[in-house]
Amino acid sequence: MGELSRIWRESDHRYRLVAHECGNCKRIFFPPRDVCPICHRDSIGKMREVELSGKGTISSFTVVHDSPRAFKRQRPYVLALIDLDEGPTITAQIVDTPLDQIEIGKRVHSVFRRIHEDGPGGIIQYGYKFAVDLS
Amino acid sequence: MVTLNDVYIIGAGETKFGELWDKSLRELAVEAGLKAVEDAGVYTKDIDILYGSNTLGAGISYQNDIGSLISDFSGIAADHIPALRVEASTASGAAAIREAYLSIRSGEYNVAMIGGVEKLTDIYGSEILDKTSTLLDSEWEAFFGATPAAVAALTARKYMKDFNVSKEVLARISVNDHENASKNPDAQFRNRISVETALNSLPVAEPLNIMDCSPIGDGAAALLLASEEFVKKNKIDGVRIIASSIAQDFLALHSRESIYRLDSTVIAARKALEKAGIRNDQIGMVELHNSYSIYGLIALEDLGFAEKGKAKDLVEADIKLDGRIPVNPSGGLKAKGNPFGATGVGQAVEAYLQFKNRAGERQIKGLEYAMLHNMGGSGSTSIVHILGGA
């Protein structure tokens, strides 16, 4: 699922949730973008890195039963859309949470986890997943 | 003032859709292409350009340059007719139709051939999901375990909650497809299914079951388009393409303004109706892109047949063959099948057969206008064609 350079160059974003903020309109984008889709050319050269808090809210989720090969051992797993507090919505798994605790509107926080590995002996890839906040 | 040429479909052909293990990518393309050429009555010398459409040929059949492949094995390589492959995810078919349409409409060409083809069954088990997930944002969706079905399920769960829509409503989109496909000899699945069967089928990505998902299958579909000049000169009774529109949206679902409004579809449909100069209620059939049942439901809204959240009111009666707005008379993506590159071309084949009164048991009577909706992935591209009129 990827050569080393492809994984390495995204590691800040996937390990520490480093996003891009538009210097013009101050909107925050994750995944990072080199141009703001609102300000267009006015944002050129003005996108700067900001680290997100990893806190957010579940806006939707699914339990995935049928998966690509790299995720076979994790089945079934929960994939969600998370509305992050800083604005962006991202796609990520929800872990460490009983299924009956996962609902639209629940608060979540990011955790650092193994995402998948490229087969036996392959590269192990890491990044963010999310867990529901304990109340 | 530049005069634009009117464009007509003058011939159509398709293979059966399904698990066609004994046929290769190129054989499928050639089979559909030859049927279309015979149907149109044209000769090699008449064809000015060929547009092939295909989505995953490089990933599954290890084949690129599919324009040349189709041209070569259709026996027209020595005639040096230009041949290109058009790719726009699962909207590749309609994208090829649109490119062919523009090439004639502009006056550059008189006759264009379109060959849409997909070979998905040459890999086994969950490897197919490695390939279909490349249609998502590979770094920010698929990397984290998203699949096309999972992304559709994210839309489905939120939509169902916000508009109080049951799984039964989704199931009825698939039940309607199977009912219509039972009348289509080219369909992958010709069995009727009940709402109960759909609801009790295996979960794929909850809340979506296998009966909410279009199947993996192979197939090809082909069309011949011609200018008004060619049609008149050769006294051909073609079916006119009165509008062709395309619009884009963010690649990943998580970047879009709404997760259950397909903005690319809203815009493409609105532009198409404007260009055609007709109202939505004049449309007599729609072939829509229900790769997943939820997309069929929300496409009904985004194409303008219902308000947001209200498509559930249409699924029991209106969408049937004899209903107010027949949906997917062909059997749609769920039951006729969804061989990506062929899907959008196959939708036009169906409309052509309907206009020519050649649709057999599923014939819609008195058809004036047909709308075709082909979508890339989870809505990154939408292409709408309107056919018909005098």
pLDDT digits (tens, 9 = 90+) for B207-254: 999 999 999 999 999 999 999 999 999 999 999 999 999 999 999 999
Interface probe with B: pick from A11, A34, A64, most Cβ of B within 10 Å: A64
Residues in chain B whose Cβ is within 8 Å of chain A: 126-127, 129-130, 133, 137, 139-147, 149-151, 153-158, 161, 202-208, 250, 252-255, 259
pLDDT of residue B33: 97
pLDDT of residue A1: 46
State the average pLDDT over residues A85-90: 98
Q: A61 - beta bridge partners?
A: A80
Exposed/middle/buried for B345, CB within 10 Å: 0-12, 13-18, 19+?
buried
Q: Do B144 and A92 touch (CB under 8 A)?
A: yes
Instruction: Please give, rounded to a whole number of angstroms, the shortest distance from the CA of B69 to a CA of chain A.
Output: 28
pLDDT of residue B242: 98
Instruction: Quickly count: other Cβ atoms within 10 Å of residue B322's Cβ.
Output: 8
State the average pLDDT over residues B309-329: 98
Domain A53-132 sits in CATH 2.60.40.10: no
Q: Where are the domains of chain A?
A: 53-132
State the average pLDDT over residues B106-135: 96
Q: Is a pLDDT exceeding 60 seen at residue A2?
A: no
β B208-209/B203-206 pair status: antiparallel
State the average pLDDT over residues B12-27: 97
Under the banding of pLDDT at 50, 70 and 90, the label for residue B281 is: very high
Q: Do A64 and B150 touch (CB under 8 A)?
A: yes
State the average pLDDT over residues A48-61: 97
Q: Give the nearest partner residue to A62 out of B141, B154, B252, using CB atoms.
A: B154
Cβ proximity of B265 and B375 under 8 Å: yes
Query: In terms of CA atoms, which chain B residue is nearest residue A29?
Result: B255
Q: Is a pLDDT exceeding 90 seen at residue A135?
A: no
Domain B127-215+241-388 sits in CATH 3.40.50.620: no
Q: Do B205 and A70 touch (CB under 8 A)?
A: no
pLDDT of residue A9: 83
A–B CB contacts, 8 A cutoff, strictly below: 105
Cis peptide before A120 (omega within 30 of 0): no
Return the structure tokens found at B332: 């749609």
Angle at alpha carbon of residue A104, lines to A38 and B294, rounded to 5°? 75
pLDDT of residue B390: 61
Instruction: Quickly count: other Cβ atoms within 10 Å of residue A126's Cβ.
Output: 14
Q: Where are the domains of chain B?
A: 7-124+217-240, 127-215+241-388
Instruction: Give domain B7-124+217-240's CATH superfamily.
Output: Thiolase/Chalcone synthase (3.40.47.10)
Q: Is a pLDDT exceeding 90 seen at residue B265?
A: yes
State the average pLDDT over residues B13-21: 98
Q: What is the pTM of this model?
A: 0.97
In chain A, what residues touch B206 (CB-CB under 8 Å)? Answer: 62-63, 65
Rg (CA), chain A: 16
Instruction: Look over chain B and give the mean of its residue pLDDT values, rounded to a whole number.
Output: 97
pLDDT of residue A72: 92
Under the banding of pLDDT at 50, 70 and 90, the label for residue A5 is: confident
Q: Is a pLDDT exceeding 80 seen at residue B258?
A: yes
Question: Measured between alpha carbons, how far is B280 from B282 in angstroms, rounded to an integer?
Answer: 5
Question: Measured between alpha carbons, how far is A41 from B89 in angstroms, rounded to an integer?
Answer: 28
Q: Is a pLDDT exceeding 80 seen at residue A118?
A: no
Question: Measured between alpha carbons, how far is B35 from B73 in angstroms, rounded to an integer?
Answer: 14
Is B127-215+241-388 in the same CATH topology as B7-124+217-240? yes
In chain A, what residues touch B263 (CB-CB under 8 Å)? Answer: none
Query: In terms of CA atoms, which chain A residue is nearest residue B161?
Result: A104
Interface residue A132 vs chain B (CB under 8 A) = no
Q: Which residue has the higher pLDDT, B96 or B124?
A: B96
